[in-house]
Structure 1
């Protein structure tokens, strides 16, 4: 696996972080400024990566452990209210959420899985511990599927057809059509399809991220989902990957690097 593929979600998150509450409706914006940072999207993405690499049985118990451990290490990353409470509960239970937290953290599944069935099953597990509403599970599976198919070298037309037929998302819209009436939407059903559309429409990694963030709304999460898919088709420019790597903490970098090593060995098997 190309080591930079793991940076797709992280880069989209970090670039989008400054625009989450100060939305832009243009693709002409600064990629980074002094306030750029990783958020809960990166932390939970890497928690899922940690789970996949450390627990061969892929148990729900260890997934919860990884998510809570990383949440406790990075408590100010910007978690939603319900999820923040979940992170600190003893024996946390799913709370029927359809939020896009299910879609933003799932991309390591698409990179790790060897088959589409495995990607779908693992994606459902990552969502079910908190976001067990059908729309939450569907959003996670749609993003994981898109990552997996892009990693496998499928064309955009093939990815679009499969996602539409399997998940029922309307991907026939354009970013220009969506942008004027789009507002802050933290639901999977209101942001995962838009992230996939940004990927389908973009012509480079940076262009995909710019399109995704130009929608406004939950910019870091849409950027993370779109970036995760885009990184499987387009190279991430060095200036983006290097800047994002510099903004991660040592523990997050360590998880990222270990995930790359494990997935690369799986790819060789």
Structure 2
């Protein structure tokens, strides 16, 4: 899950900037975790310690209210609502990566991804986005190659993953929907050479940079066998102690990619 958090931190300074290049400093003084990291940790917390996803999301929102949450989620969490709000935003997909480590089969992973999404993002596209990302992480960490990952995701979720970044980048714009950002984030991973390249690919599309880098980084960590040590160290240094403690507990429970 640290790969997702690192992608978020790296992408945070590119949010809304429309970055269309891959050459940029990985970290700056302003690089910070956002709601993507906070809710990724919340999912990990639920998986390690049990509990209800909605309750956990509410608790983390109130602990980090200034992390940059979307308006719909903020309204839902602020009032501790129990009913989902039919969202197809990519918030369901940005937080789901820990699910890809916590189960032994793809079917279990996909079902738990649905559960993690549906408490807020119960629109079919919100659920599909979360399931696709969790499935990609599961397949990557269990040793499947990129052609199989692409084929499995296309067959199960109907995404067009045959496009090239060079085709997508010129016309791509900021899009916070699952259907408009999850496939592109997966393609950023599929075209990558290593973890860092996946994150740079995602940011270079000029869209919802922190979330797309979070998603691509999550899959890349699982596929490439971890996060580069320098990136991991820098990322951990940007987290507060409560978030770090959950990350450490999750890693001790579920280990690192196979």
- Give the one of 123, 133, 137 matched to 1:147: 137
- How many Å separate the matches in 2 of 1:165 and 1:117? 14
- 3-state SS of 2:223 partner: coil
- How many Å separate the matches in 2 of 1:166 and 1:31? 34
TM-score (norm 1): 0.93
Measured after TM superposition, the shift of residue 70 of structure 1 is: 1.1
Match of 1:211 in 2: 201
Measured after TM superposition, the shift of residue 98 of structure 1 is: 0.4
Match of 2:234 in 1: 243
Match of 2:157 in 1: 167
Measured after TM superposition, the shift of residue 87 of structure 1 is: 1.1
| 1:262 is the counterpart of 2:253 | yes
Asked whether the equivalents of residues 58 and 80 of structure 2 are also in contact (C-alpha less than 8 Å), the reply is no
- How many Å separate the matches in 2 of 1:164 and 1:8? 23
Deviations for 1:217-238, whole angstroms, at most 9, x for unmatched residues? 1000000000000001224221
- 3-state SS of 2:178 partner: coil
Measured after TM superposition, the shift of residue 91 of structure 1 is: 3.5
Deviations for 1:186-222, whole angstroms, at most 9, x for unmatched residues? 0000110001101100001000100000001100000
Deviations for 1:99-137, whole angstroms, at most 9, x for unmatched residues? 000100000000111111110110000110010000000
Structure 2 residues not aligned, in runs of 5+: none
Match of 1:3 in 2: none
- How many Å separate the matches in 1 of 2:77 and 2:123? 18
- 3-state SS of 1:226 partner: helix
Match of 1:47 in 2: 42
Aligned length: 257
The aligned runs of 1:1-269 (5 Å cut-off) are 6-55=1-50, 62-234=52-224, 235-264=226-255
- 3-state SS of 1:233 partner: helix
- How many Å separate the matches in 2 of 1:91 and 1:171? 35
Structure 1 residues not aligned, in runs of 5+: 1-5
- How many Å separate the matches in 2 of 1:23 and 1:17? 12
Measured after TM superposition, the shift of residue 90 of structure 1 is: 3.2
TM-score (norm 2): 0.97
Measured after TM superposition, the shift of residue 35 of structure 1 is: 0.8
Q: What's the Cα RMSD here?
A: 1.5
- 3-state SS of 1:18 partner: helix
